Amino acid sequence: MIKTISTQTKGLHGTLFIPGDKSISHRALLFGAAAQGTTEIKGLLEGEDVLCTAEALRKLGARIEKNTNGLWFVTGTETFKKPDSILDMGNSGTGVRLLMGLLSSYPIQARLTGDSSLCSRPMKRITDPLTQTGAVFETTEGKLPIVMTGSEQDKPFEYTLPVASAQIKSAVLLSGLRRKSPTVVHEPIPCRDHTERMLKAFGADIAVEKDALGGNVITLHGGKRLTACPVVVPADISSAAFAIVAALITPDSEIVLPNIGINPLRTGILDVLLEMGADISFENKREIAGEPVADLRVRSSALKSVNVPAGKAPSMIDEYPILAVATAFADGKTRLNGLTELKVKESNRLQAIVDGLTRNGIEAEALPDDSIRIRGKGNNACGGGTIEAKLDHRIAMSFMVMGMASESPVVIDDVSSVATSFPDFISLMNNAGANIYDYRD
């Protein structure tokens, strides 16, 4: 069996170009497919997740092409057609959930599935509200595969998010694009707002207002077709987090990461790392296609422990695995709170974090309230363990980063899932000074 080993490096250096934001890439394809005209996309993430979304939209009637300069062009369709074959969404929770929202108002039937990891993830949180709009779902125990039939039912729909989830919020909003009646989403805890920003850029009539308790009330007046517009995809902060932590915990490192998206609803990881003493500077701040970006300069740092409140989770839910690795190299005890959502990601990430750290000599425990307590070892984190990635790209990459600064190598049993979001991760890190390679067990 071929496994991957990550060994200690003497430092990371250079300018690292992080791939495009996965969340924004999915939305650019989806909105472009539903829009009138041709949408030009620059910087699209070409990971397996996003390519699965592109292929599904082709089967629904959209025209999607890439030119020799790396630009993508999406020509929308007047109305989606019934696909001739099943829509395989691979490992993409974002892709499948947003696509269900988009298709829920079209009177066609579609069959959707994914890989074994995606088929184990809960979909009732999406199908339940969409059923209230008239869509019909045939499923087993609320999971993929799913056969769905959309509805042109036109009546006002109001929904309060039960959890802070951009996927649920986006699916509900997309279900309202063709309804003339308003769609209203109450968001008690604000979470990433890429859908609202991009819908506005595509000409949707959408408004976001604060409520009396500090949440958001999002109102979409549908009934008109989106209009194509150019999209520039910033580099993904979730992917950048791996390089950032790698440079922080690896002695004698200094790297620059250009064009990183710093949407304030996505940068919880940066807030926490700065609180831990990270040397991260923001250079050349600007706005691209409605999204704030900056070039980040990151230097090796002595990190200290921190207590991360549950309220941070919506702004960094995907970054907890790599944050946990950072805390392993911090001095003192760290507690990460409010991690219930981690249990329904590509794997049970809460348990995967604890298992991975423990196997590498770090004291870590999951607590009954879905928090994690970690005792960091400063610069003495030892490594030496073998990680079961369980088709979870963020677990695989996090522990490759751990190996870069550990006394003993860290082994990952399967890194194939990394292709879903960061296909060139290993080569990018190795070119900066890491030592990650495959070996046959």
- Chain segment 96-125, per-residue pLDDT in tens: 999 999 999 999 999 999 999 899 999 999
- Overall average pLDDT of the 341-349 stretch: 86
The pLDDT score that the predictor gives to residue 344 is 80
Q: How far apart are CA 314 and CA 376, in angstroms?
A: 24
| Mean pLDDT for all residues in the chain | 95
CATH (domain of 381): 3.65.10.10
Question: Do the domain assignments include residue 321?
Answer: yes
Please check the confidence at residue 325 and state whether its pLDDT lies above 80.
yes
My answer on whether 150 and 269 are in the same domain is no
Question: Do the domain assignments include residue 346?
Answer: yes
Please check the confidence at residue 347 and state whether its pLDDT lies above 90.
no
My answer on whether 323 and 183 are in the same domain is no
Does residue 30 contact residue 49 with C-beta atoms inside 8 Å? no
* Helix 425-432 × helix 237-249 angle, to 10°: 30
Question: Do the domain assignments include residue 296?
Answer: yes
Structure tokens at 236: 């993904």
My answer on whether 271 and 378 are in the same domain is yes
Does residue 390 contact residue 352 with C-beta atoms inside 8 Å? yes
State the DSSP string of 23-91: HHHHHHHHHHHHSBSEEEEES---SHHHHHHHHHHHHTT-EEEE-TTS-EEEE--SSPPPPSS-EE-TT
Question: Do the domain assignments include residue 228?
Answer: no
Q: Which run of H or E residues covers position 216?
A: strand 216-221
289 dihedral zone (left: phi>0; alpha: psi -120 to 50; beta): left
Please check the confidence at residue 290 and state whether its pLDDT lies above 80.
no
Please check the confidence at residue 400 and state whether its pLDDT lies above 90.
yes
Q: What is the pLDDT of residues 183-222, one digit of tens each?
A: 999 999 999 999 999 999 999 999 999 999 999 999 999 9
Please check the confidence at residue 414 and state whether its pLDDT lies above 90.
yes
My answer on whether 249 and 397 are in the same domain is yes
- Overall average pLDDT of the 133-139 stretch: 97
My answer on whether 201 and 270 are in the same domain is no
Please check the confidence at residue 432 and state whether its pLDDT lies above 90.
yes
Question: Do the domain assignments include residue 400?
Answer: yes
pLDDT level of residue 441 (50, 70, 90 thresholds): confident
Question: Do the domain assignments include residue 229?
Answer: no
Final residue of a structural domain among 174, 203, 223? 223
Final residue of a structural domain among 223, 256, 282? 223
My answer on whether 417 and 326 are in the same domain is yes
Does residue 340 contact residue 317 with C-beta atoms inside 8 Å? no
Please check the confidence at residue 380 and state whether its pLDDT lies above 80.
no
Does residue 257 contact residue 220 with C-beta atoms inside 8 Å? no
My answer on whether 8 and 32 are in the same domain is no
Q: How far apart are CA 429 and CA 413, in angstroms?
A: 19
- Overall average pLDDT of the 344-372 stretch: 94
The pLDDT score that the predictor gives to residue 382 is 86
My answer on whether 76 and 39 are in the same domain is yes
My answer on whether 208 and 250 are in the same domain is no
Phi first, then psi: what are they for 288, rounded to 5°?
A: -125, 120
Cα 441 to Cα 115, 164, 438, distances in angstroms = 26, 42, 9
125 by DSSP, 3-state: which?
helix
The partner residues of 217 in beta bridges, in order of sequence, read 186, 209
pLDDT level of residue 360 (50, 70, 90 thresholds): very high
- Overall average pLDDT of the 50-77 stretch: 97
Question: Do the domain assignments include residue 327?
Answer: yes
The pLDDT score that the predictor gives to residue 140 is 84
The pLDDT score that the predictor gives to residue 91 is 92
pLDDT level of residue 440 (50, 70, 90 thresholds): confident
The pLDDT score that the predictor gives to residue 22 is 94
Domain extent, residue 258, equals 2-20+234-440
Question: Do the domain assignments include residue 110?
Answer: yes
Looking at the annotation, which residues are catalytic?
318
Number of domains in the chain: 2
Q: What percent of the chain has pLDDT over 90?
A: 92
My answer on whether 290 and 157 are in the same domain is no
Tell if the pTM clears 0.85, that is, is over it.
Answer: yes
My answer on whether 14 and 29 are in the same domain is no
269 by DSSP, 3-state: which?
helix
Compute CA 434 distance to the chain's CA centroid, rounded to the nearest angstrom. 24
Final residue of a structural domain among 223, 252, 271? 223
Q: What is the pLDDT of residues 253-279, one digit of tens each?
A: 999 999 999 999 999 999 999 999 999
- Overall average pLDDT of the 22-31 stretch: 97
My answer on whether 315 and 248 are in the same domain is yes
Q: What percent of the chain has pLDDT over 70?
A: 100
Please check the confidence at residue 288 and state whether its pLDDT lies above 90.
no
